[in-house]
Amino acid sequence: MKAPLKLPNPKVTVSRIGMLIKGKLSVEEWQELAVSIGELATSIAFIVGDWLVYGQGLFGTEGFPDKKVDHPSYQLALKSTGLDLSTLQNYAYVSRSVPYSLRSERLSWEHHRLLAKLPDNEIQSWIATCEAEDDAGHRMTTRRLRKSLCLGRVATQADLEPDPADKGIENHIPFVNRLALWWRHMQEKRFLAGASYEQRQALKRDLEPVVNIYNQL
């Protein structure tokens, strides 16, 4: 386990309003700061997510432990961090889905987010695979991991090449991902458990264009 984050240079101090550099840094000193900055940037999502999940276990909804972070906790996080609700929900989702004991310091938060939908044993297996690929000199980027998860095996460079059949087609993936993210948020809020018949029917009507596109293909 790595030691807690420490700035490697006494000329540099960090506060809530930014970084203050006193004196002149050499190119080497400036480059060394990148490691600490990177560690801080990648750890904050886990830190906030773990805090929210702990509160979930401590209080839960209406004072009882629950699978959902309660509204007051999110309101406190919104006020304290300045982050938006969807970001906080993502942080909590990943922290809840990928236990601390399974995480790897060699992978980014985004890697863990991609693995969050899997059972613990599969998360552990894929993390080991990512580390092995890295050891072999074949970096497992998030793009490669996403493709590997779709294929059910480690993606090769050839797998990452664009499909000739997709040439000339406007990229639709961002729109699909946004719709999938919206639905995941609805599930985390237990929409289906409390939705009325009218609300369900209204959503079905709204989603008919998606079904029509699928059927036309």
* DSSP string for 157-204: HHHHSPPGGGTTPPP-HHHHHHHHHHHHHHHHTTHHHH--HHHHHHHH
pLDDT at 81 over 80: yes
Structure tokens at 167: 């040439």
Residue 109, helix vs strand vs coil: helix
For 85-114, what is the mean pLDDT?
A: 91
The predicted structure's pLDDT at residue 34: 79
Q: What are phi and psi of 19, to 5 degrees?
A: -110, 130
Give the Cα separation of 42 and 46 in Å (integer). Answer: 8
pLDDT at 128 over 80: yes
The predicted structure's pLDDT at residue 80: 84
Give the Cα separation of 57 and 165 in Å (integer). Answer: 48
pLDDT of 5-59, one tens digit each? 446 678 888 776 677 888 888 888 888 787 777 777 778 889 889 988 888 777 6
pLDDT of 150-195, one tens digit each? 889 999 988 888 666 656 667 777 788 788 888 888 888 888 888 8
Give the Cα separation of 128 and 50 in Å (integer). Answer: 22
The predicted structure's pLDDT at residue 168: 61
CB 21 within 8 A of CB 41: no
How crowded is residue 10: how many other Cβ atoms within 10 Å of its Cβ? Answer: 8
Which residues, 6 or more positions from 94, have their beta carbon under 8 angstroms from its beta carbon?
Answer: 45, 46, 49, 109, 112, 113, 116
- Domain range list for the chain: 105-160
The predicted structure's pLDDT at residue 146: 92
